[in-house]
């Protein structure tokens, strides 16, 4: 009998994931994204460290939308730069602990 270790993790590239990926190409999302970036044109995560960096990405804060269409369009959103989005955004989406550092170099 084969041994199984722990629970199987849900596949992050599930059909549902592919489904909500399409939401990113909707006109509604593009408008929302533009609006958010116009409202907060700087990376909010860089600002926490007193770094001024233009934002190019709009991240779903608060644990992400997880395929929830309502949450996808309702937010909350965070304006981020690309490096922040790929570093911290992915961790948040995976539900991992995000350690933030203040301007003094100590974790917040
Ligand atoms: Zn940033």
The answer to whether position 3 is within a domain reads no
Which range marks the domain in which residue 67 is found? 15-93
Q: Is residue 43 part of a domain?
A: yes
Q: Has residue 107 been placed in a domain?
A: no
List the structure tokens of 6: 């722990």
Closest listed residue to residue 95, CA positions, set 7, 9, 29: 9
Separation of CA 63 and ligand 1 centre (Å): 18
Taking only the tens of pLDDT, the chain with its 108 residues reads: 555 555 555 555 677 777 788 899 999 999 999 999 999 999 999 999 999 999 999 999 887 888 888 999 999 999 999 999 988 767 776 777 777 777 777 777
| Whether the model pTM is above 0.75 | no
**Is 44 among the domain residues?**
yes
Q: 60 C-alpha vs ligand 1 centroid, how far in Å?
A: 14
Within a domain: 100: no
Task: Please indicate, yes or no, if residue 106 is contained in any of the structural domains.
Answer: no
Count the domains in the chain.
Answer: 1
What is the CA(72)–ligand 1 centre distance, in A?
21
Compute, in angstroms, the gap from residue 70 CA to the centroid of ligand 1: 26
For residue 72, being part of any structural domain is answered with yes
């Amino acid at each position: 009998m084969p041994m199984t270790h722990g629970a199987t993790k849900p596949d992050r590239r599930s059909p549902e994931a592919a489904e909500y990926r399409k939401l990113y190409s909707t006109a509604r999302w593009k408008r929302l994204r533009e609006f958010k970036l116009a409202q907060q044109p700087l990376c909010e995560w860089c600002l926490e460290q007193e770094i001024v960096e233009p934002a190019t990405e709009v991240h779903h804060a608060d644990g992400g939308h997880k395929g929830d269409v309502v949450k996808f369009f309702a937010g909350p959103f965070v304006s981020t730069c690309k490096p922040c989005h790929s570093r911290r955004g992915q961790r948040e989406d995976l539900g991992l602990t995000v350690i933030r550092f203040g301007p003094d170099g100590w974790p917040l």
